[in-house]
């Protein structure tokens, strides 16, 4: 029997991250589930993963904090190198730029971009040594289309696409593949406060997406079927911009 692979998924206690973690578990991965604060939700996802017959380690830390990231991951990495890393952690603090506070800018950018750096910087040396791996970054439609009030979120997610392309070139020769998945309007708490009745009129499929729509693509990119794909960004948005 082939040895099972492990996936580290950040921001995975709910929403898209939880769907990704459960789908990867369904497809044979053991899970390192990162979250920042919601113990109850994290335990719920862990139980669902274990019901699928896979193991799930809960890793509670703030990805934006390098010291926390390194401290929590170091003992895990001494035992095992994850095959896949999914950088999903992120959140919104919307405001028009003229009224945006500095901390609203910094907090959003830090979780997405510093979080990406902190996770990848910690895990990548071991992936390169193993000469295999997948890094999948969850970005957003806001990186591709202007959204009023989301200058911080758009900048962070667009930066993640650039980071994806650069890293893909750097590590390809070691068989570490790096891609991004860009969800559109997905039915999670991230849609709270948005005028969805109006937004849906501009979505060709005429509905919001489901977290599972994103999770299935992430699972494909983490599989052997995606062995010749790197440096790409895949939009999951119901046809917006087509």
Is residue 89 a contact partner of residue 112, using CB atoms and an 8 Å limit? yes
Q: What gap in Å lies between CA 126 and CA 18, rounded to an integer?
A: 25
Q: What gap in Å lies between CA 19 and CA 167, rounded to an integer?
A: 25
Indicate if 35 belongs to the active site: no
Residue 64 dihedral angles phi and psi, to the nearest 5°: -75, -10
- Note the helical H segments in 84-225: 102-109, 115-130, 151-171, 196-200, 211-221
Q: What gap in Å lies between CA 38 and CA 226, rounded to an integer?
A: 33
- Identified catalytic residue from 35, 66, 116, 153: 153
Known catalytic residues? 153
């Amino acid at each position: 029997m082939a040895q099972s692979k492990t996936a580290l998924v950040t921001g995975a206690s709910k929403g898209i991250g939880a769907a990704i973690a459960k789908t990867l578990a369904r497809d044979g991965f053991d899970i390192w589930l990162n979250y920042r604060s919601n113990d109850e939700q994290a335990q719920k996802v862990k139980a669902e993963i274990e019901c699928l017959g896979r193991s799930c380690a809960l890793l509670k830390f703030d990805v934006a904090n390098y010291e926390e990231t390194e401290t929590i991951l170091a003992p895990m990495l001494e035992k095992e190198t994850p095959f896949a890393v999914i950088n999903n952690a992120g959140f919104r603090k919307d405001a028009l730029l003229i009224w945006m506070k500095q901390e609203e800018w910094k907090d959003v950018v830090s979780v997405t971009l510093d979080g990406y750096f902190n996770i990848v910087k910690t895990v990548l040396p071991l992936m390169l040594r193993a000469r295999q791996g997948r890094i999948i970054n969850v970005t957003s439609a806001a990186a591709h289309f202007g959204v009023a009030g989301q200058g911080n979120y758009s900048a962070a997610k667009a930066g993640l696409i650039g980071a994806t392309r650069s890293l893909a070139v750097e590590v390809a020769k070691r068989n570490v593949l790096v891609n991004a998945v860009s969800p559109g309007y997905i039915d999670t708490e991230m849609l709270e406060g948005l005028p969805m009745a109006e937004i849906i009129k501009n979505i060709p499929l005429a509905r919001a997406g489901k977290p599972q729509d994103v999770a299935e693509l992430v699972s494909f990119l983490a599989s052997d079927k995606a062995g010749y794909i790197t440096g790409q960004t895949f939009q999951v948005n119901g046809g917006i911009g087509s």
